[in-house]
Amino acid sequence: MSNSFGERYRFTIFGQSHAPAIGVTIEGLPSGFAPDMDALAAFLARRAPGGGPFGTPRKEADAPEFISGLVDGHTCGAPVTALIRNTNTRSGDYDELRRVPRPGHADFAAFMKYGGARDVAGGGQFSGRLTAPLCIAGGLALQLLAKEGVTVRAKIVSIGGETEPAAMQAAMAAAKEAGDSVGGIIQCVCEGVPAGLGEPMFGGMENRIAQAVFGIPAVKGVEFGAGFAVGAMRGSDNNDPFYYDETGAVRTRTNNHGGILGGITSGMPVVFRAAFKPTPSIALEQDSVDLVSHENVKLAVRGRHDACIVLRAVPCVEAAAAAAIYDALLESRGI
């Protein structure tokens, strides 16, 4: 089902932006594992709102409460469920959105799927807030991967088309000043991933990482290694030559394949990029429709919103990648 990811490390996310709580149930954690709760809190803090000038001013502790699966701080083998209470909700901001869908947002699609019963407050189940439970599941996967020598690190490579830090800051400032928003691209590098993870065809690592990463709101593209640039390349440029390194391991001199060949990891770093669209909620007036009066109308979104979601999305990308890789790692042990 749609709110679950993974086969061996499997988690199910629940909640809406303004429901009493959001959370996640995780199956597949080894028993006897003691999560580093401080490290998890630090990881969650990287995506928390209120962290800077370009994020929403909504402030929430986002401290997860573990309600099952732990005994004296150690996993006991039962599924682990963690909750985050939604304490700072302002449903009143969103009444107009029940009638008038925001361009670029899931509002309209949700109306077509769920009808009038859909939860519009704060984006409901489509809110970026649901990436907090993703980060809990992914954050624990990161800790388990670290024990195996695998690291997963994402970074912003461009915002608003700019690739230099100063220019990226300027692009965000200009968008915010204009009541607008701006998109960006995040790159993720996973080192220490053993060769042989993933499966051919639909169970390949590209398939799985893409399935996880497209679960983050606002992602419109995912590419691996040289990515879309391969379309302009020749085989002699794109093929990564093999060689034996000094340790006797097979490596490639370049990494256009992004650590994945035939869906299976090669032992080289897994590298991918995700494109994030600009936050659809902007203060500028936009054309929309009134779903009740059936008229074309103008809309200016009020409320608290990020001028650039990309900043907070970095740990979400790491979380998605870590979950997919750890799931494949567990799977590889059953072969």
Residues contacting a second copy: total by CB under 8 A: 158
Q: Residue 313, interface with a second copy (CB under 8 A)? A: no
Q: Which of 136, 141, 260, 313 is the binder for a second copy (CB under 8 A)?
A: 260
Q: Residue 264, interface with a second copy (CB under 8 A)? A: yes
CB of 11 to a second copy, least distance (A): 10
Nearer to a second copy, 5 or 43 (CB): 5
For 214-242, b/e burial (b = at least 16 CB within 10 A) is: ebbbbbeebbbbbbeebeeeeeeebebee
CB of 328 to a second copy, least distance (A): 10
Q: Residue 263, interface with a second copy (CB under 8 A)? A: yes
CB of 73 to a second copy, least distance (A): 10
Q: Residue 113, interface with a second copy (CB under 8 A)? A: yes
Nearer to a second copy, 61 or 76 (CB): 76
The one segment of 37-45, 50-58, 140-148, 282-290 that binds a second copy by CB under 8 A: 282-290
Q: Residue 125, interface with a second copy (CB under 8 A)? A: yes
Nearer to a second copy, 42 or 230 (CB): 230
Could you tell me the maximum CA-CA distance found in the chain, to the nearest angstrom? Answer: 72
Nearer to a second copy, 42 or 90 (CB): 90
Write the interaction track for a second copy spanning residues 16-55; mark x where CB under 8 A is met and - where it is not: x--xxxxx-x-xx-xxx-----------------------
DSSP state letter for 162: B
Quick one: which of 316, 315, 319, 312 has its CA closest to 56?
Answer: 312
Nearer to a second copy, 20 or 42 (CB): 20
Nearer to a second copy, 42 or 228 (CB): 228
How far apart are the C-alpha atoms of 274 and 309, rounded to whole Å?
A: 13
CB 22 within 8 A of CB 86: yes
DSSP conformation letters of 26-89: EE-PPTT----HHHHHHHHHTT-TTSSTTS-S-------EEEESEETTEE-SSPEEEEEE--S-
How far apart are the C-alpha atoms of 326 and 335, rounded to whole Å?
A: 15
Q: Residue 147, interface with a second copy (CB under 8 A)? A: no
Quick one: which of 179, 187, 182 has its CA closest to 160?
Answer: 182
How far apart are the C-alpha atoms of 216 and 204, rounded to whole Å?
A: 19
Nearer to a second copy, 42 or 47 (CB): 47
Q: Which residues, numbered 183-242, are part of the site for a second copy (CB under 8 A)?
A: 183-185, 195-196, 198-204, 206-208, 210-212, 214-215, 217, 219-242
CB of 17 to a second copy, least distance (A): 10
H or E element that contains 211: helix 205-213
